[in-house]
Amino acid sequence: MQRFTGGAREVEVEAEDFPALLAELCRRFPDLGEDTVRKQSLGIDGMLIHTPMLETFGQDSQLVFVTRIAGG
Amino acid sequence: MQSLQFAAPTSLAEAAALLGGSDNPKVLAGGTDLLVQMKLGLREPALVVDIKRIPELGEVSLGADGLRLGAAVPGAEVTANADIAALYPGFVEALGLIGSTQVQGRCSPGGNLCNSSPAADSVPAMIACGAQCNIYGPNGMRSVPVEAFNTGPGRNCLAADEILVSLEFPRPAARSADAYLRFIPRTEMDIAVAGAAVALTLDDAGVCTAARVAIGAVAPTALLVPAAAEALVGSKLDDAALAAVAEAASAAANPISDKRGTAEYRRKVVGVLARRAALIAQSRAQAEE
Amino acid sequence: MTSDMTVKTQFRHVGSRPVRPDGLDKVTGRARYGADMNLQGQLYGHIIRSPHAHARIKSIDFSEALKVPGVLATMSGADLPEPGEALIPGAEIEMKLKNVSPVIMARDKVLYHSHAVAAVAATSPRIAAEAAKLVKVEYEVLPAVLDMHAALAEDAPLLHDDNFTVGIDPPPEKPSNVSVQIEMAKGDLEAGFAAADVVIERTVNVPMCHQAYIEPHACVAKADEKGRIDIWCTTQGPFVVRLLVAEITGIPQKDIKVTASEIGGGFGGKTTVYIEPVAAVLAKKSGRPVKIVMSREEVFRASGPVSDSETRVKIGAKKDGTITAIDSDMIMNTGAYSASAMFAGVLFGTAPYTAENIRSKGREVLTNLPRVWAYRAPGAPQALTAVECVVSELAAAIGMDPIEFRLKNAVQEGDVPLYGMPFSAVGLKECLQAAKDHPNYQAALGENQGRGVACAFWINAGMQSSASIHVTPDGGISVMTGSPDIGGSRASMALMAAEVLGVPVETVHPAVVDTDSIGFCDGTGGSRTTLATGGAVIQAAEKLVEELRRRAAAAWSVSIDDVAWLDGKAVERCGVGIDELIEGTSPVKDGAKVLTLAEIALTAGATGGPLTAVASLHAHNSAPSFAVNVCDVEVDPETGKVDVLRFTCAQDAGKAIHPAYVEGQMQGGAVQGIGWALNEEYLFNADGVLDNAGFLDYRIPVASDLPMIDTVIVEVPNPLHPYGVRGVGEVSICPPMPAVVSAVNNAAGTLLYDLPMSPPKLLAAIDAG
Ligand SMILES: Cc1cc2nc3c(=O)[nH]c(=O)nc-3n(C[C@H](O)[C@H](O)[C@H](O)COP(=O)(O)OP(=O)(O)OC[C@H]3O[C@@H](n4cnc5c(N)ncnc54)[C@H](O)[C@@H]3O)c2cc1C
């Protein structure tokens, strides 16, 4: 994803839920594209969401995009 | 699609006639090689002749002259026989290495020899013991030493209508013993990457007076290595003699590189095995006192 | 699921070791595996496979084969829809259909030896095999690339002329055999190495291997007049089979039912399909059920083996043992289509360590070898082997005990690994301590003996699961899920249901049911089943308890709040506080009414109908696992043979629901890792033909090769799971390889990092001094 964020690794985003996050990221980084974001798993305060869609976030939630990994 | 005939004769003459009457016959002993090969499509015989009902093939007689062992006697019967194990511990341990408990109930020394795999475990041991092959054919019986039986991988001196009837082991002199070692990457269920058998006789003073050394899986057939035996005779198996045994075994080897090991590896390891087998045979012979 | 949930710590059933419910059927031979299923009038499918590693298919002619009496259907790639650029929706990770469908049947090109090109179905296996020989396939043979370095060469023949490496900026204009590349980094690598007192760099090769599940793939498919397809097969995920068969054949999922048989091992290898779509198409075309059973040889040649990898790792440390920098660069072989677990290797290889300066790079390389597939903790063993071997060398170089060295650098709660998600409570330090405290770690080593230590990480999955519970009129409990039981999970499901319901575990009958009979379940993989499907079982059982209380309340005409559920019984509270009602020691008031589960069940018809409960969830509460292995070996310096003398596994299970099967996972992983380190490898000849397509020359360890694998279960509860569970199935295969490699190198005085350490290779290394 960093390829599309001008190298930024961490960003502060104002968003209540995943749709808002998605919209905000795509607004800030036009090259990023929804698909790229949707392909990632999302860590929210220690919980790993495999396919995020409607998740809501708290005030200071720490969100991490993690490459989706298959198990065996 | 081909059809398959099966026969289980009860006499040598009948068996030889059946074999002679088919253009693609195959002898069946325990079937632990043959049936596997047929399932893999490597062999498609038209006639399978089961020889296990022929009395001579199942006979075991141990006497003053030595051992006559029916070619189709299953491994488990041999390894359970303490008298045979006392006289030919190396041969019995080699035969006992074949397969698993289940395979042991079927696999025969004759099958191990007649399958003519260079890696067959009991064959170097038979050679070290000086065993002879008794062969039945339309013209009666003939006999060849085990080391002359196989002529190449999957090839031997049997004509299509000949049957290996028994193996004849001379009775070892006092203070004699044999030993067999193979190398496999695992501990079981594997095919020898190299193997070595040593049979030797000691005198009162512990000096080796006679020896035979044979190696397996390192040439197209198992080989008798006279130079290795010469290195032992006259020695007390000191380091120099042992080094010479190893060197002679390695020198005699003519291995290939394949998925089971490189030629270089096999050549080296067969020497190590020959040396170690000699030491085991020696300690067994000494224990006979 | 919230982070302030409480994790249960007192259990009545969980943590005990009842005999597994499937055990008797398995040891008596009654259990029905994939190949045991037969249908009236079935045909037998036979797959025709490529004799070439790379060739264009010019034509396929079935005319002679069709003349054979008993041949009733044929198929080729032309019978499957063209994949185009479609993605498979709902797959565990993004999968392009064009990387999946041609594995089932090649289209214009075959890309590896034994690649499926056509199939016939006939009334007997023999007729099918004979007819297969008569199918004429014309090929134009193309040059093949049979290893990663050949594939990376500037002028290498291309597998796919439309493959442009993903992950390069700007995107390349020329196609290549690199499907994707990635680089992850944090900190300042140069400064990290500058601060180091010792820097060690090694290149570690891990060979292509196979999961070596004992049961080959097998299936039967049946089509009815309305086009509905029934499939019985051996799989880790019947819903995965339903999805993939639908995507590959174009038959909609709603028309497919999949029933999983008992499974004889999967290890990741049965999280996809090989023969099911073929059987479905042949069944549709012939109107007869079609059975396909892969031979052992076909499984080795044409299922999904496991990536080989080459990893260059450079690590720096200070004299006090602090790791200052880790630089890792991996290439991973994916075979003919992109499917490797390279990302996991890149992301997780450094996860055990707090090092601040890390760079990890990876490339996935296409070759004319079978398309790889998942194997326990896919991608992680290869990466961790490289890192851990170097870490062990570093510890030795600065004269520190290898466990102490790791303790000094081990991650704990709050630390942030390269993949970005901060750790919650994790048990790495506890595992290291447990390994250190084990008597095996004190055992004296003799001549030619050596010890190796390694630790490892795996992320573990959550994903979707469903469970449903029914109560029989006499109080028996049926627990149904859609998660095939590959490691004793039915025993765990029974334990968790018994725990919630307060009934003896013997009264719980757990079953794995077909895709029509239960809500969606992702496959049994990613170490997720006990956590996620178990979570659904817990939720369903809790709903059932609520329902049972409601029924008792109705019978007694009291409020449900006045009914407690205690030791498998509804108990009238009579004012006793809920906190005082403790299982096993319940202070039931004299005269309080009591109804057992069986009593409620018997009258269920009168109180509201049958007793059932269902739960479905998407588990977001998975947590990573760590494990530590210590291995002692003896090396025969004259033959290069390795004997494993002692082997110790410590692993964080969070909470072991059924400890015996947790130990089983640890031991199984250890054995597979030992095999991979010492003898297992795919050997291809110069034409790309696998030379050891059988268990004689593909050497998995036999029982007599192994010592007792000693286990220590560490339990640092997963704070997000009601019982504290973590996945245990995968991390167990990560540390054994590096532990064995370090032990062997220590014993033999070698620096051999070209696995497997088979006797010829090890002896050559010893002799080279
Ligand atoms: C799982 C397994 C493990 C094995 N492990 C080993 C091992 O560790 N070491 C080893 O050396 N071998 C091993 N083998 C191979 C095999 O078991 C042995 O070679 C065995 O001794 C063959 O004996 P058999 O009686 O089963 O022979 P069969 O299969 O019956 O016959 C083998 C061949 O000899 C011919 N033949 C047999 N008897 C006669 C006869 N009297 N006259 C003429 N021709 C005859 C047959 O026609 C056939 O060609 C293994 C096999 C299996 C299946």
pLDDT of residue C97: 96
Mutate-to-test residue for ligand 1 from B98, B158, B161, B221, highest number of ligand atoms within 8 A of CB: B98
Percent pLDDT > 90 in chain A is 17
The reply to whether B43 and B80 lie within a common domain is no
The reply to whether B64 and B166 lie within a common domain is yes
- Tens digit of pLDDT for each residue in A38-70? 888 899 988 888 888 888 998 888 899 888 888
Query: In Å, how far from its chain's centre is CA C140?
Result: 38
* Stretch (H or E) spanning B169: strand B163-170
pLDDT of residue C1: 41
Token pair for residue C227?
A: 């086009």
CATH class given for the domain over C309-368+376-460+623-768: alpha beta
For C688, how many CA atoms within 13 A lie in the half-sphere containing its CB? 28
Among protein residues, the one whose CA lies closest to atom 47 of ligand 1: B27
Mutate-to-test residue for ligand 1 from B93, B103, B149, highest number of ligand atoms within 8 A of CB: B103
**Closest ligand 1 atom number to CA of residue B122:** 11
Ligand 1 center to B83 CA (angstroms): 24
ipTM score for this prediction? 0.95
pLDDT of residue C577: 76
Beta pairing partners, C109: C56
**Nearest residue in B to C639, CA atom:** B269
CA-closest candidate to residue C639, choices C762, C742, C754: C762
Per residue in B73-106, is it b (16+ CB within 10 Å) or e — as a string? bbbbbbbebeebbebbbbbbbbbbbbbeeeebeb
Residues B131/B105, Cβ–Cβ less than 8 Å: no
Beta pairing partners, C310: C205, C331
Residue B52 lies in a domain: no
The radius of gyration of chain C's CA atoms, rounded to the nearest angstrom, is 28
Chain-chain contact of C421 with A66 (C-beta, under 8 angstroms): yes
Ligand 1 center to B108 CA (angstroms): 6
pLDDT of residue C584: 59
Q: How many CB atoms lie within 10 A of CB C483?
A: 31
Chain-chain contact of A69 with C267 (C-beta, under 8 angstroms): no
Ligand 1 center to C704 CA (angstroms): 23
Domain C23-31+462-619 maps to which CATH number in 1.10.274.10, 3.30.365.10, 1.10.357.10, 3.40.630.30? 3.30.365.10
Chain-chain contact of C763 with B260 (C-beta, under 8 angstroms): no
Which among C94, C169, C268 has the least Cβ separation from residue A72? C268
Ligand 1 center to B8 CA (angstroms): 18
Chain-chain contact of C374 with A46 (C-beta, under 8 angstroms): no
Ligand 1 center to C144 CA (angstroms): 38
Chain-chain contact of A46 with C463 (C-beta, under 8 angstroms): no
Ligand 1 center to B150 CA (angstroms): 14
Token pair for residue B164?
A: 């290996």
Question: Exposed, middle or buried, B246 (CB in 10 Å: 0-12/13-18/19+)?
Answer: buried
Chain-chain contact of A71 with C622 (C-beta, under 8 angstroms): no
- Tens digit of pLDDT for each residue in A6-38? 778 888 889 999 999 999 999 999 888 888 888
End-to-end C-alpha distance for chain B, whole angstroms:
63
Rounded Cα gap, residues C261 and C180, in angstroms: 36
Among protein residues, the one whose CA lies closest to atom 46 of ligand 1: B27
Query: In Å, how far from its chain's centre is CA B180?
Result: 10
DSSP C532-571: IIHHHHHHHHHHHHHHHHHHHHHHHTS-GGGEEEETTEEE
For chain A, list residues whose CB is within 8 angstroms of any CB belonging to chain C. Answer: 3, 9, 39, 43-51, 62, 64-72
The reply to whether B199 and B116 lie within a common domain is no
Domain count, chain B: 3
Rounded Cα gap, residues C661 and C667, in angstroms: 9
* Stretch (H or E) spanning C390: helix C380-397
Across the B/C interface, how many CB contacts are shorter than 8 Å? Answer: 52
CATH number at B267 reads 3.30.390.50
pLDDT of residue C313: 98
Pocket of ligand 1 (CB under 6 A): B 26-34, 36, 51, 71-72, 97-99, 103, 106-108, 110-112, 114-115, 120-121, 158, 163-164
Among protein residues, the one whose CA lies closest to atom 28 of ligand 1: B31
- Best residue in C676, C684, C696 for a mutation probing chain B (most B CBs within 10 Å): C696
pLDDT of residue C2: 43
Which among C126, C702, C758 has the least Cβ separation from residue B187? C702
- Sign of the torsion formed by the C-alpha atoms of C127, C132, C135 and C136: negative
Measured between beta carbons, the chain C residues lying within 8 angstroms of B265 are 640, 759-760, 763-764
In what side-by-side order are the strands of the sheet with C229-233? C71-76, C116-122, C43-49, C290-293, C218-223, C229-233, C256-260
Considering the domain C34-142+211-302 in this protein, what is its CATH number?
Answer: 3.90.1170.50
Please give the single-letter amino acid code of residue B77. E
For Cα atoms C236, C237, C238, give the angle at the middle one, nearest 5 degrees. Answer: 125
Residues B187/C706, Cβ–Cβ less than 8 Å: no
Q: Which domain holds residue B112?
A: 57-170
Ligand 1 center to B72 CA (angstroms): 10
| Residue numbers of chain B with a pLDDT score lower than 50 | none
Ligand 1 center to B63 CA (angstroms): 27
- Best residue in C702, C744, C757, C762 for a mutation probing chain B (most B CBs within 10 Å): C702
DSSP B29-82: SS-TTHHHHHHTTS---SEEEE-TTSGGGG-EEEETTEEEEETT--HHHHHT-H
Chain-chain contact of A72 with C92 (C-beta, under 8 angstroms): no
| Residue numbers of chain C with a pLDDT score lower than 50 | 1-3
Domain boundaries, chain C: 23-31+462-619, 34-142+211-302, 309-368+376-460+623-768
Among protein residues, the one whose CA lies closest to atom 33 of ligand 1: B115
C1–chain A Cβ distance below 8 A for any pair: yes
Question: Exposed, middle or buried, C216 (CB in 10 Å: 0-12/13-18/19+)?
Answer: buried
C23-31+462-619 and C309-368+376-460+623-768 agree in CATH topology: yes
Among protein residues, the one whose CA lies closest to atom 27 of ligand 1: B111
The reply to whether B96 and B157 lie within a common domain is yes
Residues C23/C664, Cβ–Cβ less than 8 Å: no
Strand, helix or coil at C646? strand
pLDDT of residue C488: 95
Chain-chain contact of C730 with A70 (C-beta, under 8 angstroms): no
**Distance from C639 to chain B by nearest Cα, in Å?**
6
Chain-chain contact of A49 with C343 (C-beta, under 8 angstroms): no
Which among B186, B259, B269 has the least Cβ separation from residue C702? B186
Strand, helix or coil at C195? coil
Rounded Cα gap, residues C242 and C253, in angstroms: 6
Domain boundaries, chain A: 2-67
DSSP C451-501: EEEEEEEE----EEEEEEEEE-TTS-EEEEES---SSSHHHHHHHHHHHHH
Measured between beta carbons, the chain B residues lying within 8 angstroms of C122 are none
Among protein residues, the one whose CA lies closest to atom 17 of ligand 1: B32
For Cα atoms B218, B219, B225, give the angle at the middle one, nearest 5 degrees. Answer: 85
Measured between beta carbons, the chain C residues lying within 8 angstroms of B190 are 696, 699
Measured between beta carbons, the chain C residues lying within 8 angstroms of A69 are 93, 341, 343-344, 347, 378-379, 459, 461
Ligand 1 center to B117 CA (angstroms): 9
Which among C1, C3, C267 has the least Cβ separation from residue A72? C267
**Distance from B6 to chain C by nearest Cα, in Å?**
19
The radius of gyration of chain B's CA atoms, rounded to the nearest angstrom, is 19
Rounded Cα gap, residues C369 and C303, in angstroms: 11
CATH number at B100 reads 3.30.465.10
pLDDT of residue C588: 73
Which among A50, A64, A72 has the least Cβ separation from residue C462? A50
Residues B174/B182, Cβ–Cβ less than 8 Å: no
Chain-chain contact of B185 with C126 (C-beta, under 8 angstroms): no
Rounded Cα gap, residues C331 and C342, in angstroms: 8
Which among A39, A43, A51 has the least Cβ separation from residue C421? A43
Please give the single-letter amino acid code of residue C166. V
